[in-house]
């Protein structure tokens, strides 16, 4: 077989102007010829028809989540990473609050797709949208030990010295049946953990359907979901439109929760395979099938 033209062996496409890095150009993508089915019968209808996320535990690893926001609802549990000079970061329970709004926006997206998931919050970012890699590691390790079904991460670190530790944690999650869904960086730079094979990595497309996503045949990003001008929850109870891979990842986290709600026996490996089969550029079209909360704007 001649693999000289395989997508993953070509030069990486240039960063599309006006879009977050790694994302689908606003004018669309010519696409790659992909097999429509590796296993018969797996598609959106099989994967999530009738599902609403019930029974699935999702942790939003971010800036916190504002409980009671109309787009978020109940936050089951909330923790924060506390750091003190000279001491290792520790995780402690806290009120479900968010001083930056980023985590609340992501949580609202997940809830819109899978309205009956059990949502929890783990704050690893400070009052802005920045934090330390050590806090990220402490929070991710804690969430894995808590046994969440899905961990949604719209953040990453460029600190190379933390790569191995993050890789170990993501492998641990993978083998403990915790699906880590991670947003690609918005700039064409190397960061972690989104480019690990053990996570579900997500960048953006510009289409308005929150249930429509694409498989990317040229990694490191594997999937593209809605991430451009997305209406998201804002602090105080309102909404605002935001663009970024940060908002594509929770779309995939919500869809993953729908699939696990209907098929709780799936491992992360199997879940990723199911998502491949349900991608809009792979599946036999039955795009009318969506979860209880999913749909077009």
41 within domain boundaries: no
101 within domain boundaries: yes
On the question of pLDDT at 8 being above 60, the answer is no
On the question of pLDDT at 295 being above 60, the answer is no
What is the tens place of the pLDDT at every residue in 216-272? 988 899 999 999 999 999 998 999 999 999 999 999 999 999 999 999 999 999 999
26 within domain boundaries: no
The count of residues in the chain is: 297
236 within domain boundaries: yes
136 within domain boundaries: yes
Q: Which domain holds residue 173?
A: 51-278
| Count of domains forming the chain | 1
Q: Residue 234 sits in a domain of what CATH number?
A: 3.40.50.200
Q: 58-72, 87-101, 118-132, 218-232 — which is least confidently predicted?
A: 118-132
34 within domain boundaries: no
13 within domain boundaries: no
Q: Which tokens in the block code for residue 72?
A: 């978020």
What is the tens place of the pLDDT at every residue in 152-187? 999 999 999 999 999 999 999 999 999 999 999 999
Q: According to the model, what pLDDT value does residue 128 have?
A: 62
218 within domain boundaries: yes
E strands present in the chain:
57-62, 78-82, 90-93, 118-123, 150-153, 179-183, 200-205, 214-215, 223-226, 230-233, 239-242
Interval 139-148 mean pLDDT? 96
What's this model's pTM, rounded to 2 decimal places? 0.86
């Amino acid at each position: 077989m001649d693999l000289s033209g395989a997508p993953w062996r070509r030069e990486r496409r240039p960063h599309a102007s006006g879009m977050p890095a790694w994302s689908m150009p606003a004018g669309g993508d010519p696409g790659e010829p992909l097999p429509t089915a590796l296993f018969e019968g797996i598609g959106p209808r099989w994967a999530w028809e009738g599902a609403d996320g019930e029974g699935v535990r999702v942790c939003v690893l971010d800036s916190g989540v504002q409980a009671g926001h109309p787009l978020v609802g109940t936050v089951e549990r909330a923790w924060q990473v506390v750091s003190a000079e000279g001491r290792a970061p520790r995780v402690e329970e806290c009120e479900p609050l968010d001083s930056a709004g980023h985590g609340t926006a992501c949580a609202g997206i997940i809830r819109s797709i899978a309205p009956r998931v059990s949502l929890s919050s783990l704050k690893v970012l400070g009052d802005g949208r920045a934090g330390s890699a050590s806090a990220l590691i402490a929070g991710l390790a804690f969430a894995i030990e808590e046994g969440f079904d899905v961990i949604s991460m719209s953040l990453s670190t460029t600190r190379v010295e933390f790569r191995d530790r993050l890789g170990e944690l993501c492998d641990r999650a993978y083998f403990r049946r915790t699906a880590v869904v991670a947003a690609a960086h918005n700039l064409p730079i190397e960061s972690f953990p989104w480019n690990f094979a053990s996570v579900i990595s997500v960048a953006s497309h510009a289409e308005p359907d929150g249930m429509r996503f694409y498989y990317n045949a040229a990694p490191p990003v594997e999937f593209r979901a809605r991430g451009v001008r997305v209406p998201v929850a804002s602090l105080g109870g309102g909404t605002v439109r935001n663009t970024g891979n940060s908002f594509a990842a929770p779309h995939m986290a919500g869809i993953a929760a729908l699939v696990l709600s209907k098929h709780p026996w799936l491992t992360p490996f199997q879940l990723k395979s199911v998502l491949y089969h349900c991608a809009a550029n792979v599946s036999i079209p039955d795009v009318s099938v969506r979860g209880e909360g999913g749909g077009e704007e």
